[in-house]
């Protein structure tokens, strides 16, 4: 899927000395003045508001900040000297970026009530407007938005798919335990059977369906309907954009980028058409119980032809306790099963022949 950017927001960090809450771009604690520590973890504020000022957008897009190797103060990614102590930043360590913090918090958060004076404050306030005491905004639980329902034909929710996969794995394990075991036996070829058939075809009018660009040039289109064809990661003219829940990614600079994972559904004309093609008029079949199969013959008129032939083979073995059936894949394999010959058979739990070889 393609990642679509919706904009940038300020994150927040908590001072490890006084537990004061600070805006992400703030390099020193608002409460005690301590520098942002090297191992600080940015988190989402109670409400994420998109930044619009040019200087803030430039800072948000600049990349992960670096920490001064001398005083641990945080500096912009493009800084060459520390803004706090003046030390060179050639060996400064860049903050790790790219961590997904959670769903974008766009709703209006509840106000904070100061525990000291009960003054109502903004949800993201770090200091009480009434008494000046420090506040610690509580992060509300994430409210995940439901991704748009996709219009793919036959599409299933991811939860259903995961559940089906788990169920299939469990069932597969049971089936393997039941049917994975095999046993060997010696059996004799009791009988052989074969069948061959060839369709006789004649030109006639048929009705078929295909995408508009796959309809034969000589066909006559009856009706077309705009239908989902495939999805791609890049936008295209006429494509339907389908995006998931917006989420915030830590940029390592005190800012977060709000993004969505999107794909683009391509729709096209699915058409019903008529054309002249070969259709089956009749099928002739021959069969036998020997090792000499042959193809049926028939006289054709000038407007007829033979279609693709079908063949099938079957061998029946008699073992000490029961009979077994085996289906050779070709005439060459079928010809090895001489009546009365003995074979070593590997049989699974349901009595099917898994493998076989002639006895020596």
* 93-133 residue pLDDT tens: 888 889 999 999 987 666 778 888 888 777 667 778 778 88
Coil, strand, or helix at residue 336? coil
Which among 178, 182, 184 has a CA at the least distance from the CA of 319?
A: 184
Distance CA 285, CA 297 (A): 9
* Residue range 342-356: mean pLDDT, rounded: 94
Question: Where do the domains of the chain lie?
Answer: 182-197+286-358
Express each pLDDT in 142-189 by its tens digit: 333 333 333 344 444 455 556 666 566 666 655 555 556 889 999 999
What is the arithmetic mean of pLDDT over 197-201? Answer: 97
pLDDT score for 282: 96
How far is residue 95's CA from residue 68's CA, in Å, rounded to a whole number? 11
**Confidence at residue 110, expressed as pLDDT on a 0 to 100 scale:** 65
For 117-171, the DSSP string reads T--EE-TT-SB-TTT--B--PPPPPP-PPPPPPP--TT---HHHHHHHHHHHHHH
Least confidently predicted of 82-86, 211-215, 309-313, 323-327 = 82-86
Q: Which residues of 274-297 are buried (b: 16+ CB within 10 A; e: fewer)?
A: eeeeeeebeeeeeeeeeeebeeee
Mean pLDDT, range 285-295, rounded to an integer: 97
CATH architecture of the domain with range 182-197+286-358 = Beta Barrel (2.40)
Paired sense of beta strands 353-358 and 255-288, if any: unpaired
Residues ≥6 apart with Cβ < 8 Å to 10: 23, 24, 25, 45, 48, 49, 51, 56, 254, 255, 256
């Amino acid at each position: 899927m393609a990642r679509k950017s919706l904009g940038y927001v300020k994150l927040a960090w908590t001072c490890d000395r006084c537990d004061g809450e600070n805006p992400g771009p703030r390099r020193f604690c608002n409460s005690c003045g301590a520098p942002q520590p090297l191992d600080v973890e940015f988190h989402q504020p109670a409400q994420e508001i998109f930044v619009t000022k040019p200087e803030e957008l430039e800072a948000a897009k600049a990349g992960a900040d670096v920490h001064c190797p001398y005083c641990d103060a945080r500096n912009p990614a493009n800084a060459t000297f520390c803004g706090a102590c003046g030390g060179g930043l050639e060996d400064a360590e860049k903050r790790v970026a790219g961590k997904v913090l959670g769903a974008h918090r766009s709703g209006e958060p509840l106000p904070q009530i100061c525990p000291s004076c009960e003054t109502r404050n903004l949800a993201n306030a770090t200091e009480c407007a009434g008494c000046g005491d420090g506040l610690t905004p509580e992060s509300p639980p994430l409210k995940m938005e439901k991704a748009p329902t996709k219009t793919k034909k036959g599409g299933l929710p991811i939860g259903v798919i995961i559940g089906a996969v788990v169920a299939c794995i469990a069932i597969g394990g049971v089936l393997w335990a039941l049917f994975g075991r095999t046993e060997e036996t010696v059996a004799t070829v009791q009988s052989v059977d074969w069948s061959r058939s060839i369709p006789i075809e004649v030109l006639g009018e048929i009705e078929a369906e295909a995408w508009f660009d796959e309809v034969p040039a000589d066909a006559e289109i009856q009706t077309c309907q705009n239908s989902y064809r495939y999805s791609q990661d890049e936008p295209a003219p006429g494509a339907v954009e389908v995006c998931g829940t917006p989420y915030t990614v830590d940029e390592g600079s005190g800012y977060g980028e709000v993004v969505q994972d999107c794909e683009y559904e391509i729709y096209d004309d699915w058409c019903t058409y008529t054309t002249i093609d070969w259709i089956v008029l009749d099928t002739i079949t021959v069969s036998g119980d020997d090792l000499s199969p042959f193809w049926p013959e028939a006289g054709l008129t000038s407007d007829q032809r033979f279609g693709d032939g079908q063949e099938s083979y079957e061998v029946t073995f008699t073992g000490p306790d029961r009979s077994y059936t085996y289906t050779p894949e070709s005439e060459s394999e079928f010809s090895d099963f001489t009546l009365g010959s003995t074979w070593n058979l590997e049989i699974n739990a349901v009595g099917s022949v898994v493998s076989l070889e002639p006895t020596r």
